[in-house]
Amino acid sequence: MQKLRFLLIILFSGFVYGNDIDTTHTTLSRKEILKLANEASEWLHESNFEKSFSASRIVLHYAFAKEDNFLIAKSYNTIGANYEQLSEYDKAISYYKKGLVYAMKAKNDTVKNWINNNLGNIYCFEKRDYKLGISYLDESLRFYKKNKDSTKIVLTKLNIAWAYFDIKLFEEGKPYLEFVNQNSEKFLTKPNWVILNVLNGMYYGYVQKHEQATASFLKAIALGIAEKNRTDLSITYQEYSNYLFKIGDYKKAYDYLIKYNKLSKEIQNDEKLKRAQRVGVNVELDEYKRKVESITAVNVLQNQSLKKSKIIVVLFIVVIGILLLQLYTLYKNYIFKKNANKELTLTNAELIVAKQKADEASRLKSQFVSTITHELRTPLYGVVGITNMLLEEHKELENSPHLNSLKFSARYLLSLINDVLQINKIEENRIVLEDMTFNISDEIEMIITSLSFIAKNHNNTIEVEIDPAIPELLIGDKLRFSQIVINLFSNALKFTHDGKVSFFATLIKIDGNQYFIEFKIKDTGIGIANEDLEKVFDKFTQVGRKDIDYQGTGLGLPIVKKLLELFDSTVSVKSELGKGTIFSFTIPFEYDPQKTNEIINNIEVDLTDSQFFKVLVVDDNNINRLVTQKTIEKRNYKCEVVGSGKDAIELLKNAQFDVILMDINMPEMNGFEASQIIRAMGITTPIIALTAFSKDEITEKALSVGMNDIIVKPYEAPILFKVINQLILKR
């Protein structure tokens, strides 16, 4: 849930600067720089993010030149607050923490506590790390109590109460709320009364004082409308909807949920946010520029030292020694290759015969693997499901290394199975690219988040650079594109330790509405030998294992190569042992705003969260029945389970359900036979096949017997409920 926090920034009036001010030929006094820093804070308060970003850049330029730690910390705090308002929370945290470092250098408790307050809010309300967030807020509260700053004390306690209420710890948050209520008239500004009334409504709802709860929520709505505070008003709509749903007033809860969704969409679509995001990139470029200048200064010093005669003589001797060593190595290589060629000529015929045998063995192996993977999915569904149930029902096991290892191993096994099936599908031309609208930056951010576990284990840092000339929304098969990037990115992280993995996206050509974008994944890992560069694209092949056992099937890069062929593209690789590897490829994506809007408008929206359905589960496996039943009942749906197709048919003679989840591979009567009989009985209830078979293998058969859709096990719960809701709505 998006929240508006009380960002601690100092607001003063002053002169106005344009977006692009030349700082090369102007000099400002510290008083003028401080005035501009205050202007940046005021523009942030007015939601003029573009001007706030630009002014903060100028302040940073002069502050670094003057080595003024206070101004640096203050500007970083403002930049972080801008990013927080733009929902770029990771960037906001990064700049807040930079500001905290310089605030400590400046020994300025005031700016340090601005940042502590902002970090507390963002960790509580956006990152959901309440323990860390409340610790930052408590640190700020101690400072304000020491300085007897009553206004800041009230605001901070309001935030802490809000944080506790967010995680349903109402008793812990109650003392803070009572304090704010007692001092609100004197120290709380009118805009903040909206949130105060929301919190009062939440607490009254918790203690079942429904008249007071309703009155508080309605007062918050009236204040939000009067103050024209859209963000607080959207929060009020959402919390009031949650309360109404809790007390059983579903119609009114739905009405306020619609108001919340509409207002949230208006806020997100604000055009000035988009323009400010582009300006924000320049702030990061300044950071990179400062790093480059620092490195350049070091290189200048090194070049000057090399001019000394003694070092030149030593270098000359070293070069002569290297040349002599290379000559000797070339001679030894010549002798070795001469002898090796003789042996290769003699064994070439034997290798041809051996390759033929290996090809036949590989064909038989692929056929066996394709068959056995279908059988592995069913028990794997049970393992993943039971693991998730244990984590949900026993919160004390959430940090158990054994349970987390079990969950990781099960998902890793599923990944291996999917890789094997994926390569077979591609080779049999069963994959067709689809047109979907997507944002490259969003896709890359999700991929990096999903792979952060590998990066952390290998102590790697990740760098991303995306050409700002690339349009925000493109059209193409984002799923296949993401699969390509995930395989290359995960490989780079696995084969890199204590290093850096970089991702670059560059627009290189525009042809009509086709935008040709070059992607590069660069790492500083172990590298690949020249003789192995072509082998890495062979199935079931891995190079560079030696002393380290890298996990994997050897299918990642072959899948990348074949998926790129679907895009009419190829992948190239450059590598040097001990220094790293670069994979690059180019894909043309379509840019058509009108077509993009049509795709977005055709996306089905699930509005059935507040409805309840009755579900019948048919599965002969006890563990799978349990997992599916728990998943469905967690959604508060009613669920009944049977162990065979015959039992399902008998039950349906006297009972009605909203949807049927049917296993395929069952003894006596399989899912196809049971579905055919159910349709013959005149029952039109939607039937969803839950199966371990690949979807394209059974689609034709499933449709012919009257099934409505197919979900492959193991599956994610949101996908299951989305299919259920869509089928029921169509019916």
Provide the b/e sequence for 396-407 (b: ≥16 CB within 10 Å). Answer: eeeeeeeeeebb
By percentage, how much of the chain surpasses pLDDT 70? 78
The yes-or-no verdict on residue 289 having pLDDT over 60 is no
Average pLDDT over residues 64-85: 87
The two beta strands, 474-476 and 436-438, are antiparallel
Q: What do you get for the CA distance between the two ends of the chain, in Å?
A: 32
Residue 16 has pLDDT above 50, yes or no: no
Q: Does domain 1-181 have CATH number 3.40.640.10?
A: no
Task: Tell me which of 399 and 488 has the higher pLDDT.
Answer: 488
Looking at residue 545, what is its pLDDT?
A: 43
| 299 has pLDDT over 60 | no
pLDDT > 90 in the chain, percent: 14
Residue 520 burial class via C-beta count within 10 angstroms: exposed 0-12, middle 13-18, buried 19 and up = middle
Q: What Rg value do the Cα atoms of the chain yield, rounded?
A: 31
CA–CA separation, 154 and 117 (whole Å): 13
Q: Which residue has the higher pLDDT, 260 or 692?
A: 260
pLDDT of 68 over the 50 cut: yes
Instruction: State mean pLDDT over 250-278.
Output: 74
Q: DSSP string spanning 408-472?
A: HHHHHHHHHHHHHHHHHHHHTT------EEE-HHHHHHHHHHHTHHHHHHTT-EEEEEE-TTS-S
Q: Summarize pLDDT for 480-496 with one digit per residue, the tens.
A: 888 889 888 888 988 89
Domain covering 352-430, topology? Helix Hairpins (1.10.287)
- Sequence-distant (6+) residues with CB within 8 A of 273 are 49, 86
CATH architecture of the domain with range 189-280: Alpha Horseshoe (1.25)
Winning range, highest mean pLDDT, from 227-236, 245-254, 548-557, 639-648: 639-648
**DSSP per-residue codes, 370-407:** HHHHHHHHHHHHHHHHHHHHHHHH-GGGTT-HHHHHHH
Alpha carbons within 13 A on the beta-carbon side of 624: 26
Mean pLDDT taken over the chain: 79
- Note if the bond before 714 is cis, omega within 30 degrees: yes
Instruction: Please check whether the two domains, 1-181 and 189-280, share a CATH topology.
Output: yes
Rounded to an integer, the average pLDDT of 389-400 is 69
Residue 124's CB is within 10 A of a number of other CB atoms, namely 26
Query: What does the CA dihedral 441, 407, 639, 253 come to, rounded to 10 degrees?
Result: -40
Tell me what the mean pLDDT of segment 580-607 comes to. 79
* pLDDT at res. 463: 92
Contacts of 197 (CB under 8 A, 6+ apart): 216, 217, 219, 220, 223, 236
Q: Is the pLDDT of residue 20 over 50?
A: no
What confidence score (pLDDT) does residue 163 get?
Answer: 85
When pLDDT is averaged across residues 21-25 and rounded to a whole number, the result is 47
CA angle 686/687/692 to nearest 5° reads 150
Q: Which amino acid is at 601?
A: N
Task: Pull the structure tokens for residue 16.
Answer: 């106005």
Secondary structure of 477-507 as H, E, C letters: CHHHHHHHHHHHHHHHHHCCCCCEEEEEEEE
Reduced to 3 states, what is the DSSP secondary structure of residue 552?
coil
What residues contact residue 324 under an 8 Å CB cut-off, 6+ apart? none
Q: What is the mean pLDDT of residues 41-68?
A: 85
- Give the confidence band of 660 by pLDDT, cuts at 50, 70, 90: very high
Domain 614-730 adopts which CATH fold? Rossmann fold (3.40.50)
**Domain limits of the chain?**
1-181, 189-280, 352-430, 436-601, 614-730
For residues 531-543, average pLDDT: 68
Contact 656, 685 (CB under 8 A): yes
Cα 133 to Cα 95, 117, 137, 172, 264: the distances in Å are 16, 9, 6, 15, 25
Q: Where are the alpha helices (DSSP H) in 67-169?
A: 69-85, 89-106, 109-125, 130-146, 150-166
pLDDT band at residue 415 using 50, 70 and 90 as cut-offs: low
Reported confidence tier of residue 586, pLDDT bands at 50, 70, 90: very high
Q: State mean pLDDT over 205-222.
A: 88
What local confidence, expressed as pLDDT, does residue 587 receive?
93
CA dist 178 and 180 (Å) reads 5
H helix or E strand, kind and range, residue 302 = helix 271-306
Kindly state the helix (H) or strand (E) to which residue 41 belongs, with its residue range: helix 30-45
pLDDT digits (tens, 9 = 90+) for 663-703: 988 888 999 999 999 999 999 999 999 887 777 778 888 99
Q: Name the phi and psi angles at 688, rounded to 5.
A: -110, 125
Q: What is the mean pLDDT of residues 316-333?
A: 86
Q: Residue 288 pLDDT > 70, yes or no? A: no
CATH class of the domain comprising 436-601: alpha beta
Higher pLDDT, 356 or 688: 688
Question: For strand 614-618 and strand 571-576, is the pairing parallel, antiparallel, or unpaired?
Answer: unpaired
What's the confidence (pLDDT) of residue 9?
Answer: 46
Does residue 381 register a pLDDT over 70?
no
Let me know: does 490 contact 552? Beta carbons within 8 Å: no
Higher pLDDT, 332 or 402: 332
What was the pLDDT predicted at 296?
Answer: 46
What is residue 632's three-state secondary structure? helix
- pLDDT for the residue numbered 3: 43
Signed CA dihedral, 244, 728, 677, 620: sign only = negative
pLDDT at 277 over 60: no
Note the pLDDT tens digit of each residue in 132-144.
888 888 877 887 7
* 489: nearest Cα among 474, 478, 500: 500
DSSP letters for 181-233: HHHHHHH--HHHHHHHHHHHHHHHHHTT-HHHHHHHHHHHHHHHHHHT-HHHH
Question: What is residue 447's predicted lDDT score, i.e. its pLDDT?
Answer: 85
pLDDT of residue 657 exceeding 90: yes
Distance of CA 493 to CAs 2, 84, 496, Å? Answer: 32, 29, 5
**673: enclosing H helix or E strand:** helix 671-680
pLDDT for residue 19 is more than 50: no
In angstroms, rounded to a whole number, what is the distance separating the alpha carbons of residues 521 and 200?
A: 51
What DSSP designation does 3 have? -
pLDDT reading at 276 higher than 80: no
In angstroms, the CA 26 to CA 581 distance is 44
Note the pLDDT tens digit of each residue in 142-181: 877 777 778 888 888 888 888 888 888 888 888 988 888 8
- pLDDT over 50 (residue 2): no
Question: In the structure, what pLDDT confidence band is assigned to residue 506 with cuts at 50, 70 and 90?
Answer: very high
Q: Burial level of 40, CB count in 10 A (0-12/13-18/19+)?
A: buried
Residue 479, sorted as left (phi over 0), alpha (psi -120 to 50) or beta, turns out to be: alpha
| Residue 284 predicted with pLDDT over 60 | no
Please tell me the predicted confidence (pLDDT) of residue 462. Answer: 92
pLDDT in tens, 108-118: 778 877 888 88
Q: Return the SS3 of 670.
A: coil
With 70 as the cut, is the pLDDT of residue 552 above it? no
CB atoms within 10 A of CB 4: 18
The two beta strands, 571-576 and 580-590, are antiparallel
Contact 691, 663 (CB under 8 A): yes
Query: Would you state the pLDDT for residue 339?
Result: 82
Categorize the per-residue pLDDT at 505 as very low, low, confident or very high, splitting at 50, 70 and 90. Answer: very high
H helical segments located in 508-555: none
All residues at 6 or more sequence positions from 104 whose CB lies less than 8 Å from its CB, including other chains: 112
Q: Which two tokens stand for residue 294?
A: 């620092």
The single residue listed with the structure tokens 């935008």 is 515
